[in-house]
Amino acid sequence: MKLNDPTLLKTDSYINGAWHGGNTRFAVTNPATGDVIAEVADLGAAETTAAIDAAVPAQKAWAARTAKDRAMVMRKWYELIMANAEDLAVILTTEMGKPLAEAKGEIAYGASFIDWFAEEARRVCGDVMESPIPDKRFLTFKQPIGVFGAITPWNFPIAMITRKVAPGIAAGCACVLKPAEQTPLSALALAELAERAGIPAGVMNIVTGMDAPAIGNTLCADDRIRKMTFTGSTEVGRILMQQSAHTLKKMSLELGGNAPLIVFDDADLDVAIAGAMASKYRNAGQTCVCANRIFVQDGVYDEFARRLTEASAAMKVGNGMEEGVEQGPIIDSQGLDKIERHVADAVSKGAEVLTGGHRHELGGTYYQPTVLANMSSDMMMFGEETFGPVAGLFRFTSDDEAVAMANDTEFGLAAYIFTDSTSRLFRVSEALEYGMVSANTGIFSSEVGPFGGVKSSGLGREGSKYGIDEFMEIKFVCVGI
């Protein structure tokens, strides 16, 4: 791995402003080649407790500083991230596998949350309310919740950290973060830049380790952790809620998805194909908001299927560090196995493979961009998130049928619709049981918009003007006069 600044490649955990190596280490591999790229500190429950010990006093001192002061430090962090974007993208692609162009986009997207919440910190306001009692005055204050725990996934190893940590730090909180074991290097590089920016020791702690249950349970069980924020599977989210119940923590959970993408007869097919490609194949289909079920109306089904097949077959697959690569490898063999199970199940129940359908000739964990036609609701892909580059096409006739099929899932994170009818756009958007609806575009995420789901897709919202409130408590003060 060639970096302009080799000191960004950290392999020890970051606790209380110091780097901790521990007694054992675990390997981080490049999914594009299988090569070991680093040996990272393998810490556990004891070190997590030490990080909490450091975070508690650090949080009180950090919260005592003015919002303007915190914002200036965060702005410096943002500037350092953007100045080192090239190196951060190389680290990200090497440990995660996504194309370098996508990695660069993630660096800018991730940094945007730091920039946004640095400004939002200065706009946190309470209220003076009309009192119903003549000799009393009613006020509210917003105060930081305290120390929070964060657990982040491997598919967006920069952005999922900044989207959680930035609002918390802006609010005056401190964090203990456990990054995914597949992608710890991006997290540690962020910690290095945070230290350079002047974020005080103990305010941002990163504990790396293979024993995720032990680290997670330590965070959940400790009553000094007043909030947990997690992105990952619904199954793990439920476990974290159960483990946090005894201490009644505030929870932010961004969990599994099963995103429908609905193409109506009146859609602009150029726009719909571009949107489907962007939504389905970004990060090789390994995002929680990827289109998992593509519903296409009768009148345009055949034409849409033909054009999507042509576009998918033309994608360049390879090592994300190579020029022009549009799709990298799947993160690991477990992810590849799930994709193969879903495709085999669909084919056994009558699906037609229009392109792809097999492991890629490059070997390793590469998989061909795949389009399946004649999908039905009894197939695994209808009810489960595939998390891979497989587009399954379902046919529908009426608006009501499309909405019913889209809502026929326990999940409710993101949905996509393509139509040139304004009235249909509003009717369908309101009828879909999802936290986010993207109309006539396959990419919608921004630091300005609230990100989050309903039903089994989670609790709370990240980003936007609402995101900082997830790290605040409202205090009511009654003053007698």
- Kindly state whether residues 209 and 358 are assigned to the same domain: no
Examine residue 452 and state whether it is found in any structural domain, yes or no: no
| Exposure letters 204-226 (e unless 16+ CB within 10 A, then b) | bbbbbbebeeebbbbbbebebbb
Q: How far apart are CA 299 and CA 344, in angstroms?
A: 28
- Kindly state whether residues 99 and 247 are assigned to the same domain: yes
- Kindly state whether residues 121 and 169 are assigned to the same domain: yes
Domain that holds residue 26: 6-255+457-480
CATH number of the domain within which 403 lies = 3.40.309.10
Examine residue 368 and state whether it is found in any structural domain, yes or no: yes
What is the reported pLDDT for 118?
A: 97
Continuous segment of H or E residues that includes residue 395 = strand 390-396
Between CA 230 and CA 216, with CA 258 as vertex, the angle to 5 degrees is 20
Q: What would the pLDDT profile of 121-169 be if each residue is shown by its tens digit?
A: 999 999 999 999 999 999 999 999 999 999 999 999 999 999 999 999 9
Examine residue 451 and state whether it is found in any structural domain, yes or no: no
- Kindly state whether residues 305 and 352 are assigned to the same domain: yes
- Per the prediction, the chain carries an average pLDDT of 98
Continuous segment of H or E residues that includes residue 278 = helix 269-281
Q: What would the pLDDT profile of 236-267 be if each residue is shown by its tens digit?
A: 999 999 999 999 999 999 999 999 999 999 99
Q: What would the pLDDT profile of 286-341 be if each residue is shown by its tens digit?
A: 999 999 999 999 999 999 999 999 999 999 999 999 999 999 999 999 999 999 99
- Kindly state whether residues 44 and 187 are assigned to the same domain: yes
Total of domains in the chain:
2
> Would you say 109 and 445 are in contact if contact means Cβ atoms under 8 Å apart?
yes
Examine residue 112 and state whether it is found in any structural domain, yes or no: yes
- Kindly state whether residues 132 and 275 are assigned to the same domain: no
CATH number of the domain within which 177 lies = 3.40.605.10
- Kindly state whether residues 328 and 472 are assigned to the same domain: no
**Tokens found for residue 132:** 């119903």
Q: How far apart are CA 473 and CA 248, in angstroms?
A: 14
- Kindly state whether residues 312 and 461 are assigned to the same domain: no
Beta strand 259-263 with 204-206 is unpaired
- Kindly state whether residues 267 and 416 are assigned to the same domain: yes
Q: Which residues are known to be catalytic? A: 254, 288
- Kindly state whether residues 283 and 416 are assigned to the same domain: yes
Residues in a beta bridge with 25: 41
> Would you say 329 and 97 are in contact if contact means Cβ atoms under 8 Å apart?
yes
- Kindly state whether residues 197 and 296 are assigned to the same domain: no
What is the reported pLDDT for 382?
A: 98
- Kindly state whether residues 84 and 134 are assigned to the same domain: yes
DSSP 3-state of 204: strand
List per-block mean pLDDT (blocks of 10 residues) for the chain, which spans 481 residues: 96 98 96 97 98 98 98 98 98 98 98 98 95 97 98 98 98 98 98 98 98 98 98 97 97 97 98 98 97 98 98 98 97 97 98 98 98 98 97 98 98 98 97 98 97 98 97 98 95
Examine residue 1 and state whether it is found in any structural domain, yes or no: no
Residue in the block written with tokens 């999507």 = 308
> Would you say 353 and 347 are in contact if contact means Cβ atoms under 8 Å apart?
yes
What is the reported pLDDT for 290?
A: 97
Q: How far apart are CA 185 and CA 174, in angstroms?
A: 21
Q: How far apart are CA 248 and CA 246, in angstroms?
A: 6
Q: How far apart are CA 1 and CA 204, in angstroms?
A: 26
What is the reported pLDDT for 69?
A: 98
Q: How far apart are CA 397 and CA 44, in angstroms?
A: 54
Eight-class DSSP state of 327: B
- pTM exceeding 0.85: yes
